[in-house]
Structure 1
């Protein structure tokens, strides 16, 4: 066998041996294995982080708080006791909503809130707190509080959401529309108009907003159910699921 034939034979043998070599011993196979291990480790550690983060959120991140910090945290959620509420004064479950009367997702939930209060009024307490997305919502929040001054907060709460489409634009006619809602509730219009024009409860609205920022709320509605936080529109089924584990 000549030199050329021997070289060709050696080359063919090498190719044959390479073809028979297991894929995981080939250079590209080793690279695939290394990349797979790296991806697996990334996914594993990411999953652990996400799981731990969810646990922290569901626990209200209170596990590492001191007693005083926990007390302050709960007070920041519930407010100073002047916010309007539905239900019993001795609840098994307290639901605090940080909302905006101009928020469409809050509008989706307001009837569910009423249904929950009707079903569990002897076992739950529902608290409204203002968390305004922009200054255009101030008149809406003020309207509810001025109605509340005359004992009609929740009635105005429902009317504002029911008529949200006509109230979200801060035009020259909006005050007239708000006054029309007050007339539907047969409020004392002199007191109502004075309250609205003076922005009598602006400090209380600002207090709610500041507390929301302290709680790192990023959108409305945000709910605190016995101090556990959830965001977004919630259905009746979801509310019942949340509450069922908290009440007898």
Structure 2
């Protein structure tokens, strides 16, 4: 009987400690978000000083490579984008359809694109981490094939919404569900028509210091990791207000 009581007490203590650890971690995260937002609103920080590598998939092949600091002028003319081409804020995202943090960011991007259609231009570029996500390259090519038929963003959403069940067969099924010309889509995908273009995106990212996903370039400033919505929102407002002065 005493032994059972001791076991119950231990289990209760472990549960209490686990709850405290979770509360501390949540508290630290909330504090960090509020801290960053206050700095941004006060004008005391800029995108180049931010980093969110706790929400970041890193390529083992790239992790040890040196990273150059500075501003980066990335070509975006042939990449899928949302928002006005004359927007004061341009956010280029290098992402991987197999990355859970890219998935998390995709919902934030879609929401903020609707909120700031004239103030922000979001640009998507591929950065397939094939050493972590084997289907990343083919998924990126599939997105390009959907872009051919004017439905990149719808296909982008499908990939992230079904990330846990991606397969080559599913890539074609998504095209069917979006009422794409499946014959045209499948021909594009199986021929590898956009394999080189995806690799060009990847190489451009590497040269700009991308080492994992997601990585953002906010008006040329690199930010690694999934940016919490409140912080990205505050950054956008801060830059728009600064540009308007």
Paired residue for 1:66? Answer: none
Which residue in the other structure is 1:211 paired with? 204
> Once the two structures are superposed, what CA deviation does each residue of 1:27-85 show, in whole Å capped at 9, x if it has no partner?
xxxxxxxxxxxxxxxxxxxxxxxxxxx999449944xxxxxxx7xx40xx2x2510110
How many residue pairs are counted as aligned between the two chains? 177
| Counterpart Cα distance in 2 of 1:245 and 1:160 | 32
Residues 47 and 218 of structure 2 are in contact (CA less than 8 Å); yes or no, is this contact kept in structure 1?
no
CA distance in 1, matches of 2:87, 2:219: 10
Show structure 1 runs of 5+ residues with no match. 1-53, 63-69, 168-173
Higher relative contact order (CA 8 A, sep 6+): 2
**Superposition map of 1:204-243 within 5 A:** 204-243=197-236
Distance 2:47 2:188 in 1: 42
Where 1:244 maps in the other structure, the secondary structure is: helix
Larger radius of gyration: 1
1:247 is paired with a residue of what secondary structure? helix
Match among 101, 112, 115 for residue 119 of structure 1: 115
Cα displacement (A) at 1:136: 2.6
Shift of 1:124: 0.7
SS at match of 1:126: strand
RMSD: 2.1
- Corresponding position of 2:3: none
Aligned counterpart, 1:129: 125
CA contact (8 A) 2:95 2:215 kept: yes
Matches within 5 A, 1:146-225: 146-167=145-166, 174-225=167-218
Structure-2-length-normalised TM-score? 0.68
TM-score (structure 1 length as normaliser): 0.67
**Which structure 2 segments of 5+ residues have no match?**
1-44, 51-67
